[in-house]
A and B are shown apart, each in its own frame.
Chain A
Amino acid sequence: MSKKVPQEQYEKTISYKFRQWLNGSKDPYLDTVEMKPQVPFCETESERLQREEENQQLAKKVYDLEHNAEIRLFGKMYKVFSVIFCLFLVTMLLIGVSYLPTFGHPENPANNEVSERYIEKGLQETGAVNIVTGMILDYRAFDTLGESHVLFIATCTVLILLRLDKKELQKSNEANDRIYEPKNDVILQTAARILVPPIFIFGIYIILAGHLGPGGGFSGGAVIGAGLILYLNAFGFEKTEKFFTAKTYRRLSFGALACYSLAKSYSFYTGANHIESIIPLGTPGAILSSGLILLLNICVGIVVAGTMYTFYVMFRKGGY
Chain B
Amino acid sequence: MTVFMCILLGFLVLCAVAASFSKNLLNTVLIFMSYSLIMSVIWILLESPDLAITEAAVGAGVTTVLFLLTLKKIHAIMKTEKDMQPEREPSGQEGEQQDE
Contact = CB atoms under 8 A, between A and B. Distances in A.
A316 B69 contact: yes
Contact of B53 (A37, A179, A214, A316): A214
Contacts of A23: 23
A33 B26 contact: yes
Given A214-B49, A311-B62, A226 B57 contact: yes
Given A179-B79, A225-B62, A315-B69, A34 B54 contact: no
Contact of A218 (B54, B73, B76, B77): B54
A214 B23 contact: no
Interface string B64-100: 0110011011011111100100110100000100110
A229 B65 contact: yes
Interface in A182-227: 182-183, 206, 214-216, 218-220, 222-223, 225-226
B10 interface: no
B72 A312 contact: no
B47 to A, nearest CB: 10
Given A36-B77, A229-B62, A222 B26 contact: no
Interface in B9-32: 18, 21-27
A252 to B, nearest CB: 18
Contacts of A206: 53
Contact of B80 (A21, A34, A214, A316): A34
B66 A34 contact: no
A29 interface: yes
Given A175-B87, A312-B65, A37 B98 contact: yes
B57 A219 contact: yes
Given A38-B76, A180-B69, A29 B24 contact: yes
A180 B80 CA distance: 11
Contacts of B24: 24, 27, 29, 35, 38
Centre residue among A29, A214, A220 by max chain B CB count within 10 A: A214
Given A22-B23, A35-B26, A312 B76 contact: no
Nearest to A175: B87
Contacts, number: 94
A29 B26 contact: yes
Nearest to B22: A22
Nearest to B67: A315
A178 interface: yes
Contact of A36 (B21, B65, B66, B75): B75
Interface in A266-320: 308, 311-312, 315-316
Contact of A312 (B26, B50, B54, B69): B69
B58 interface: yes
Contacts of B73: 315
A308 B63 CA distance: 10
A312 B95 CA distance: 26
A180 B68 CA distance: 10
Given A219-B57, A222-B58, A315 B78 contact: no
Contacts of A36: 75-78, 95, 98-99
A223 B57 contact: yes
A132 interface: yes
A226 B78 contact: no
Interface of A: 21-24, 27, 29, 33-38, 132, 175, 178-180, 182-183, 206, 214-216, 218-220, 222-223, 225-226, 229, 308, 311-312, 315-316
Given A22-B22, A219-B57, 4 more contacts: A23-B23, A178-B83, A178-B86, A315-B66
For the complex of A and B, 7 pairs with smallest distance between CB atoms:
A24-B23, A214-B49, A34-B78, A222-B57, A219-B53, A219-B54, A226-B61
